[in-house]
Chains A and B, each alone.
Chain A
Amino acid sequence: MKMQRGISQIIWLLMLLGFISISYFFSLLLHLPALVTSILIIVYGFFSYKWTLKNIVTETIQTRSAKHTIFSYIILLAGIIIITNRLYYFEHKYGDWDAWLIWNYHAKYLAHPEYWKQLFTLNKISHPDYPLFIPGNIGFFWRLLGTDSQLIPFALSFFITLIIPVIIFLSLKQKNLLIAGVVLILLGTDDFYLIHAIAQYADAPLALFFLTAIISVNYLKTNKYIAVILGALLGCCIWIKNEGAMLSLLFCLFYIKDILVNGRWKYFLAGIAFPLLAILLFKTMAPVNNLLENRTVPLVDYFTDSSRYKLIASYLVYNLNNNFMVTKYGLIVYVIFCIVNRQFPGKDMWLLLSCVAGCFFVYVLSNQGLEWHLQTSMDRVLLQLMPSFVYVIATKLSTLKIPFLSK
């Protein structure tokens, strides 16, 4: 089974972004001129696109009626216009606080090959241990263009904010156009999602790469080349944010059998090797994460402190009730659907619930002020998983048959 062209092209773009940031990091390490890096990126882009078209994209087969195609086109255009229109009012040129305090700030160092290693000597408040997917992409284009224009981080953030609902729509539209359209419009009018995704933080990119991995894994059993993509996407998850390591690890645990059998592990390894090498090199240079150091209280004390669990649970409920209404009601409908159809939740749903549980335990073990930590990050951590939840729920609901739209 091969993918639709639109999804494959988005995946190619994501892999290209991953390649740009990683190859730029290596070029800084090896003191390569920007021109050489650019040529490498163009060559990679060209051959990877050809590879994607050959091995990933499905042959053009008209599986749906012309009416279905026109409808899906109109809904997609309407969704893009709605999202663009709302982002116009929500975007800030420099992004929110962490954009210029962390991500774009790191990019400024990476844009200067003579000073980029100073990044690792920065104060802990600037988080010099944070991975370089976003700074690498922005830094590369800033250096290439000889400017630190805010248009670059804005364009990256805009692209990712737009692509998340679009890729969900594209992957659902063949199954159920109504559900696909509803999801597109719901995400496109979800102010919490739009405000946080356009903030130029790393949460939306992580959400997009993880979501794309979940979409791609559906094709793994019938196409061994998907394992390459899966490896690259999960590697990039770790390269985007430290939390990505936990998400990728849980993903591999859940799908270990699918990844390992029939020699697919070789393809998976080929995909993940490049990002993993970059991460390992980066981590040997960067200081230790502030969550892992200065631990004065034994872990056992945190584990056995019930008040911590209650506090985290209360924030989780608060976030679900106030910031993730679509996901909350979607989950309720999902449970009802499973009960009515006497089905167990799928593996993908258990994976996402495990990710939430994993985040929960990171908070339990946090050596930062817990309430401050929850206030400043839980909504963003949940945002990393929200698009995947929406996709998994919508995929389940898309098995509903609606006569008019199923033609």
Chain B
Amino acid sequence: MKPFIVNTCLFIAVITALYFFTIKFRQPDNIDKVKIGLTGIDRYISNNSRLGYICSVNDGALPNIANYILTPVNLDMLNVSALDTTLIIVPLDQKVLDMIGQENILWQNKDDRLKYILISKH
């Protein structure tokens, strides 16, 4: 087998595989959806800060997904009350104002399923 033919076949195979994997990579999954939902929040929080976290959605992965997307911001899922700034994620149909009272809304966004709200207590 001539090396030229082998190398050309290999090149075509690699390009074809890359093409199909790239197409698959462009399809959004659950993490991408949360990532889109949290778009723009970075202007209101600084890296290395800790956020309180409230979530009324029955999805065990959601806090960790939000945490992964926001890193190196750290979501504090255990000690919300001690933190000034809190991220709230709730279903679209849930009334949020009752939950957050008079606190300041720094930023908010929504997708087809969830509302994302960043509040400050001061």
| A residues at B contact (CB < 8 Å) | 70, 73, 81, 84, 88, 91-94, 97, 100-101, 104-105, 108-109, 112, 114-115, 118, 122-123, 150-151, 154
CB distance from B26 to the nearest CB of A (A): 9
Most buried by B among A70, A114, A118, A154: A118
In contact, A105 and B31 (Cβ under 8 angstroms) = no
**Neighbouring B residues of A150 by C-beta, 8 Å:** 25
Q: Chain B interface (Cβ within 8 Å of chain A)?
A: 1, 6, 13, 17, 20-21, 24-25, 29, 31-32, 47-48, 61, 64-65, 67-68, 71-72, 74, 78
**Which chain B positions have C-beta within 8 A of A97?**
61
Contact indicator A108/B72 (Cβ below 8 Å): yes
Does the CB pair A94–B48 fall under 8 Å?
no
A112 to B65, CA, bound (A): 19
Pick the most buried of B47, B71, B72: most chain A CB atoms within 10 A of its CB: B71
A115 partner, pick from B64, B68, B72, beta carbons under 8 A: B72
Cβ of A105 and Cβ of B71 under 8 Å apart? Answer: yes
CA distance A150 to B25 in the complex (A): 9
In the complex, the answer to whether B74 meets A101 with C-beta atoms within 8 Å is no
**Among candidates A92, A93, A108, A114, residue contacting B68 with C-beta atoms closer than 8 Å:** A108
CB neighbours of B6 from chain A (8 A)? 73
19 contacts between A and B (CB under 8 A): A73-B6, A91-B21, A92-B29, A93-B32, A94-B31, A100-B31, A100-B65, A101-B64, A104-B68, A105-B68, A105-B71, A108-B71, A109-B71, A114-B48, A115-B47, A115-B48, A115-B72, A122-B74, A154-B21
For residue A146, give the distance in angstroms from its CB to the closest CB of chain B: 15
Report yes or no: B64 in contact with A100, Cβ–Cβ below 8 A: yes
State whether A100 touches B29 (Cβ < 8 A): no
Which A residue's beta carbon lies closest to that of B20?
A88
CA distance A112 to B47 in the complex (A): 10
* Interchain CB contact under 8 A, A118 and B74: yes
Decide if A93 touches B25 in the complex (CB within 8 Å).
yes
Contacts of B61 in A (CB 8 A): 97
Q: Which residue of A lies closest to B10 (CB)?
A: A77
Closest chain A CB from B105 CB (angstroms):
27
* Residues on A with beta carbons closer than 8 Å to the beta carbon of B32: 93
